[in-house]
Amino acid sequence: MKNLITLIALALMPAAALAEEAAPPPKWSIAIHGGAGTLNRDAMTPEKRAEYEAALQNALDAGAKVLAEGGSAMDAIKAAIIPMEDSPLFNAGKGAVFTWDGTNELDSSIMDGRDRSAGAVAGVKTVKNPILLADTVRTQSEHVMLMGAGAEAFAAEKSFAVTPPEYFATPGRREALERMKAEQLSALDVDLKFGTVGAVALDQSGNLAAGTSTGGMTGKRWGRVGDAPVIGAGTYADNRACAVSATGWGEYFLRVGVAHEICARLRFLMYVAPKEKLNELASEERPMKLIEEELFQGVADGVMADVAELGGDGGVILVTPEGHAIFSFNTSGMYRGRATSDGVNEVAIFGGEDKASATPDH
Amino acid at 317: I
SS3 71: coil
pLDDT tens-place string over residues 311-335: 999 999 999 999 999 999 999 899 9
pLDDT at 336 over 90: yes
Instruction: Residue 77: name the closest of 296, 317, 313 by CA.
Output: 317
Q: In this predicted structure, what is the pLDDT of residue 357? A: 43
Rg (CA), the chain: 22
Over residues 85-97, the mean pLDDT reads 96
From 99, 126, 136, 196, active-site residue: 196
Confidence of residue 270 (pLDDT cuts 50, 70, 90): confident
State how far the Cα of 220 lies from the Cα of 239, in Å rounded to an integer: 35
Backbone angles phi, psi at 346, to 5 degrees: -150, 150
Domain boundaries, the chain: 28-97+171-350
pLDDT tens-place string over residues 2-38: 555 554 555 555 655 545 556 778 999 999 999 998 6
Domain 28-97+171-350 has CATH 3.40.50.2000: no
pLDDT tens-place string over residues 159-207: 999 999 999 999 999 988 888 888 876 665 555 556 799 999 999 999 9
State how far the Cα of 18 lies from the Cα of 158, in Å rounded to an integer: 49
Paired with 316 in beta bridges are 246, 328
Q: pTM for the full model?
A: 0.89
Q: Average per-residue pLDDT in the chain?
A: 89
Backbone angles phi, psi at 39, to 5 degrees: -100, 130
Q: In this predicted structure, what is the pLDDT of residue 20? A: 52
Instruction: Residue 121: name the closest of 232, 255, 230 by CA.
Output: 230
Over residues 106-120, the mean pLDDT reads 98
Reply yes or no on whether 196 is catalytic. yes
- State the DSSP code for 231: B
Q: In this predicted structure, what is the pLDDT of residue 274? A: 74
pLDDT tens-place string over residues 213-257: 999 999 899 999 999 999 999 999 999 999 999 999 999 999 999
Burial 59-69 (b: 16+ CB within 10 A, else e): bbbbbbebbee
Pairing of strands 106-112, 117-124: antiparallel
